[in-house]
């Protein structure tokens, strides 16, 4: 019985596990720091109060409960010993015959980790809830505030990073301020919210064709978002953002500017690219270790390609599946097959009914692209219940212009400790 | 233009505000520490991973957005000055012509506030999320644990307090352990979960007739819950519960044993009952202050009754409505009318399809009572969307035996700070 250890329950890990589930001659242990698989492409909707966390996440052990050869552990990996073929967790040592590393990525602040406190990123449910708390609290604070300068600062949102996440966050704030919150306040006009999308490079959405990115920029502007290109941020503090000599006073800054792979990579002793991702072989294994595979955001794969594959869900999903197939081949003595990526294109959505889509030579924008976005995201959501509920939630929001999850939830739960106060 | 200040956006405050909404000659300011109205009777379902917070809560300012004479502020009340007719918040002073106090209650630990850390109560969304985190984390820890004694402690849940909340929590854990988690684990059998409902008095559900309480006890036993009556808790610490010489080793303790009203009461300088509630006049005003009213859990009303009215939703709702009517009468020069409570009976639910109901001489138990419970709770839920989604969620759980919101969400959101680790 061969033991496969999978580290990480994201798209890559989950699909590798499913492929290995109930197969003879193999048992699987999947470890994850959290208890849930998260459908990350919709995380910005949790941050923007449109969906609840449970709509887009489900317990990993429940998703895999039907596979009797799979054990799921909520645990963390401290060390990987490639030569000895085991991993170390805070509680135990796990020996493996095959290892799949797919720990994803987290936000990178380019040496300014102190910015995180003022500008949360969007990778986990905790961060999404924190962003939601900050955005909604800013409006409450603005409603109470009498000093017009402070009020303006509460009603200003800076989003750093013009990739799909930054665009989606900015568009959602535009949508919310222009439509959802319209009638709810007495002392402020939410429609005067200033939303600034800050991008260091010459334009937003650099991975998309320039024409589509231009359309997205126009769509953002219609929602009241201003795009500041060529604007590398030089400082973020508790009251605003600095771009060289320019300064924006704002209570809320969101970070969508860069990612870096798991810190585990640096300790592996294998070849990494400049971002710190493991440079994998054509079959997704690690050079010199045919029994160790890396997938998803943690891997750098560029065989036969002009650019390495991007850190998006279809890549991770296909790689996880492929690795599992190669492990099954290896167990029955067959040679591994080099990974072939089937391009599913790329998508970004702007507000409630616009998106851009690129697939090979096909370029779509506007409502039609948004419908495609909708169908694809519902199709890939894990579980019948999530599909049903997210569809209903969206239908409701679409026709009512409302957001279903506008709750400010504090971090402290105790009464007898001083509760978390708003800033 | 008369100014009515309402402190608290629970059942009493919300219904008072609605009654005063868009009425001539009156403007209303409603203050609440949170931004949401919470449908507290279903809070235990959030704690037990069956519903998401957004299913049972909605932003107060959105619920009241249609009333142009109402301002909602997320703020706290520090001081009430009855003689000068104003209240003090951290940010401002608010003068009032009429004041409605309905701040609800919080858990009381009978002089053992240090127990709260080990035994959270269930009054807020933050607490419900914390309880969910503890219960689900206990199963994850048990699955990892190899020491059988520690494993047993992770699989033991003590609920202190045999009122409706304690019964509902215990029943839900029974349901979850016996049905929902059945197939999800490899190293533990969730069906062996020990659930102990600890009550200081001679039986659970003292406000119900003994016969109904007996049925509830039997229903709990069928779900694996053991009721320990006549068992006053003498100590709670990080590893268990002490009842005199007896001791239960358990990783999870939940508190449902007692409430006390807002701390604001003590500073009012008016007559309070032994629990600290304001003893109100027949018209729900404060003696000597016909312009100040108290409602809901914060008030003690016993005019013409054998016992003071209990702290339940129908009482708060009717009182809020009544106070608003009396204020409108006072504005047009009419005398206030004494409050008359229309008894809507009482209900408690046990697990997925059993409940008990008492209304006057009518006593129901089992499935029929549960259907009544279902209809009543859906009917009173705020908002069409919540009704639809909660109904669907329940239908889905009922037929699939699953729980839709089994997410463990950590308190710390930052990567660059050490994240919250499981115990």
- Write the pLDDT tens digit of every residue in B383-392: 767 788 888 8
ipTM of the complex: 0.80
* A89, closest residue in chain B (CA to CA): B144
* Minimal CA separation from A181 to chain B, in Å: 8
Size of interface A-B (CB pairs under 8 A): 173
Strands of B25-170 (E only): list them.
26-32, 36-38, 57-59, 70-74, 79-81, 86-88, 93-95, 98-101, 105-107, 156-160
**Residues near A250 by Cβ (< 8 Å), separated by ≥ 6?**
A153, A156, A157, A158, A194, A196, A239, A240, A241
Strands B156-160 and A36-38: unpaired
User: Mutate which of A61, A255, A408 to disrupt the B interface (most B C-beta within 10 Å)?
Assistant: A61
Least confident of B7-21, B256-270, B273-287: B256-270
Residue B396 has pLDDT above 80, yes or no: no
A409 and B184 within 8 Å at the Cβ level: the answer is: no
Give contacts of B39 with chain A, Cβ < 8 Å: none
B407 and A53 within 8 Å at the Cβ level: the answer is: yes
Residue A124 has pLDDT above 60, yes or no: yes
CA-based nearest residue to A60, from A106, A7, A3, A2:
A7
Which residue among A114, A145, A168, A221 is the active-site one?
A168
- Report the C-alpha gap between B270 and B298 in whole angstroms: 13
Residue A32 has pLDDT above 90, yes or no: yes
Strands A299-300 and A278-279: parallel
Average pLDDT of chain A? 91
* A145, closest residue in chain B (CA to CA): B91
Give contacts of B121 with chain A, Cβ < 8 Å: 415
CA-based nearest residue to A332, from A66, A26, A3:
A26
pLDDT at B3: 98
Average pLDDT of chain B? 91
Residue A409 has pLDDT above 60, yes or no: yes
Mean pLDDT of A336-348: 94
* A181, closest residue in chain B (CA to CA): B62
Which residues of B form the catalytic set? 168
Q: What are phi and psi of A176, to 5 degrees?
A: -60, -45
Residue B198 has pLDDT above 80, yes or no: yes
pLDDT at A416: 60
Give contacts of A419 with chain B, Cβ < 8 Å: 33
A415 and B106 within 8 Å at the Cβ level: the answer is: yes
Please state the pTM of the whole predicted model. 0.87
- Report the C-alpha gap between A65 and B402 in whole angstroms: 12
**Facing residue for A54 by CB, picked from B126, B143, B405:** B405
pLDDT at B219: 94
Residue pLDDT, tens place only, A233-282:
999 999 999 999 999 999 999 999 988 998 899 989 999 999 999 999 99
pLDDT at A419: 39
B405 and A129 within 8 Å at the Cβ level: the answer is: no
pLDDT at B92: 87
- In three-state secondary structure terms, B32 is strand
Contact A113, B416 (CB under 8 A): yes
pLDDT at A379: 85
**Facing residue for A73 by CB, picked from B61, B144, B400:** B144
- Report the C-alpha gap between B247 and B245 in whole angstroms: 7
């Amino acid at each position: 019985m061969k033991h496969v250890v999978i580290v990480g329950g994201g798209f890559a890990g989950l699909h590798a596990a499913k492929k290995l589930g109930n197969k003879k001659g193999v048992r699987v242990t999947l470890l994850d720091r959290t208890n849930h698989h998260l459908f990350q492409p919709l995380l910005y909707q949790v941050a923007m109060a449109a969906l609840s966390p449970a709509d887009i996440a489900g317990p990993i052990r429940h998703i895999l409960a039907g596979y009797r050869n799979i054990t799921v552990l909520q645990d963390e990996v401290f060390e990987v010993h490639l030569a000895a073929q085991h991993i170390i967790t805070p509680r135990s040592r796990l020996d493996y015959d095959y290892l799949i590393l797919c720990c994803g990525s987290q936000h990178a602040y380019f040496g300014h980790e102190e910015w995180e406190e003022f500008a949360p990123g969007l990778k986990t449910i905790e961060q999404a809830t924190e962003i939601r708390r900050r955005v909604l609290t800013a409006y409450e604070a603005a409603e109470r505030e009498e000093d017009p300068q402070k009020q303006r600062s509460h009603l200003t949102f800076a989003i750093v990073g013009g990739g799909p996440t930054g665009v989606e966050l900015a568009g959602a704030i535009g949508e919310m301020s222009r439509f959802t919150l319209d009638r709810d306040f007495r002392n402020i006009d939410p429609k005067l919210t200033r939303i600034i999308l800050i991008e260091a490079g010459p334009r937003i959405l650099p991975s998309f064709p320039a024409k589509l990115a231009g359309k997205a920029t126009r769509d953002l502007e219609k929602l009241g978002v201003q795009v500041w290109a060529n604007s590398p941020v030089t400082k973020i503090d508790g009251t605003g953002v600095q771009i060289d000599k320019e300064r924006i006073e704002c209570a809320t800054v969101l970070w969508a500017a860069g990612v870096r792979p798991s810190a585990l990579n640096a300790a592996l002793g294998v070849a990494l690219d400049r971002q710190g991702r493991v440079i994998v072989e054509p079959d997704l294994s690690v050079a010199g270790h045919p029994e160790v595979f890396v997938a998803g955001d943690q891997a750098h794969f560029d065989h036969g390609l002009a650019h390495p594959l991007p850190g998006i869900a279809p890549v991770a999903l296909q790689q996880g599946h492929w690795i599992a197939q190669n492990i099954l081949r290896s167990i029955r003595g067959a040679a591994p097959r080099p990974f072939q990526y089937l391009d599913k294109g790329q998508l970004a959505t702007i507000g409630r009914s616009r998106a851009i889509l690129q697939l090979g030579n096909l370029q779509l924008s506007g409502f039609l692209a948004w419908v495609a976005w909708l169908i694809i995201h519902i199709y890939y959501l894990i579980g019948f219940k999530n599909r049903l509920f997210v569809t209903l939630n969206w239908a409701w929001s679409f026709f009512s212009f409302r957001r279903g999850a506008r709750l400010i939830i504090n971090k402290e739960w105790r009464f007898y400790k001083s509760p978390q106060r708003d800033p």
